[in-house]
Amino acid sequence: MELRRVVITGLGAVTPIGNTVSDFWDALCKGVNGAGEVTRFDASKFKTRIACEVKNYDPQQFFDRKESRKLDLFTQFAILASDEAIQDSQITEDNTDLNEVGVVFGSGIGGINSFYEEVAAYATGDGTPRYNPFIIPKLLPDLAAGHISMRHGFRGPNFSTVSACASSANAIVEGFNYVRYGMFPVAVVGGSEAAVSPPAMGGFEAMRAMTTRNDDMMTASRPFDADRDGFIMGEGAGCLVLEELEHALARNAKIYGEIVGCGLSSDAYHITAPHPEGLGAMMCMERAIKSAGLQTTDIDHINTHGTSTPAGDTSEAMAISRLFGEHVSKMPINSIKSMTGHLLGGSSAIEAIATVLTLRDGIIPPTINHFNDDPSIDPNLDIVYWEARKKEMTYAISNAFGFGGHNASIVFKKY
């Protein structure tokens, strides 16, 4: 089978540091931090009272009251990010058969806050069920993809991927495969999450996965730092329009970059902890490089999963060191979660966008909040700390790992 080349022709983002791609990218390069006190609910009794929330967002600017009643916040973010990406790509019925456009959009949790609010109202009421008639479609993770397809008339494959914090990476991989195997010429892919809510925050708090550095929130997310104590919850969405190269060229599309390979693996180890030696992470990066027809020495940069959890960062760093050997000193890596927090199922979508723009502009955004080197992390790793770095690059990997041992790596190429 002849494989098609897959390029990126549209980008869209709603993030804690910018509600458009241009604002997001500008903030990343400047090292802007999205942390703040939780405003979505009263977190005063929680051990973690900080999060990276989307700023200056008013649903009434984008949805009327009747429509917003049907949409959980994670779906709203997905719609806005996809609207930007689709408009950016200039895909229209005049240049594309909309029956041949697929939508694959991931979410790790879906409408958890809508579900919580409805159940809480029932539990504190008189026992009479008075549920919102839209509660089921509000909470289902696949409804973000469904709304995107209905909004734009896309009648290709349409579904959600759920693999915890690797969900949107898996969505990108699925769309990539549809296009490169010649099944459909265009795929709208990405992911969304809006889990700054009592059950999600409380659940991750109970697992001791989140930072409790409330009094020092602007430096609380510290990927690869010796004193990291967990991630900061983030929220938002990212979207990419993937397109067969010939289709994109035929309609004179703007091209941001190219996807040339992907790798998937499972740790087969633990429900929440990563493999202590980074076995699954190493395997999926190795498979991605092989899929792209490359050698480890061809990779110029890695946008790491880098959550700021003690076990996760050590495991990923070990996997990179074992796979790339001496090349690690020539291959800068970073973690943008130091600025955006952890968007869970939406994280790998905005990180894919960051990786594409890193290659396009030759700028690696920094990993902020580094104070002390971790002796368990290879000192030869070239981690870009505090300030963005200019570097001409051709190939970069974006990593995503999720609870359950789900691992995904995607290889991007400068176009």
* Residues with catalytic roles: 165, 305, 342
CA-CA distance, 8 to 176, in Å (whole number)? 10
6-14 and 257-266: which strand pairing? antiparallel
Do residues 376 and 316 make contact, with C-beta atoms less than 8 angstroms apart?
Answer: no
CA-CA distance, 121 to 111, in Å (whole number)? 16
Tokens of 292: 């792209």
Cα separations (Å) of 263 from 119, 214, 300? Answer: 39, 37, 17
Helical H runs in 90-158? 112-123, 135-139, 143-152
CA-CA distance, 257 to 361, in Å (whole number)? 11
Phi, psi of 208 (to 5 degrees): 60, 35
Do residues 351 and 400 make contact, with C-beta atoms less than 8 angstroms apart?
Answer: yes
CA-CA distance, 226 to 288, in Å (whole number)? 29
Tokens of 79: 């719609």
Task: Give DSSP secondary structure letters for 198-242.
Answer: HHHHHHHHHTT-B---GGGGGG---TTBTT---BPBBEEEEEEEE
CA-CA distance, 274 to 314, in Å (whole number)? 9
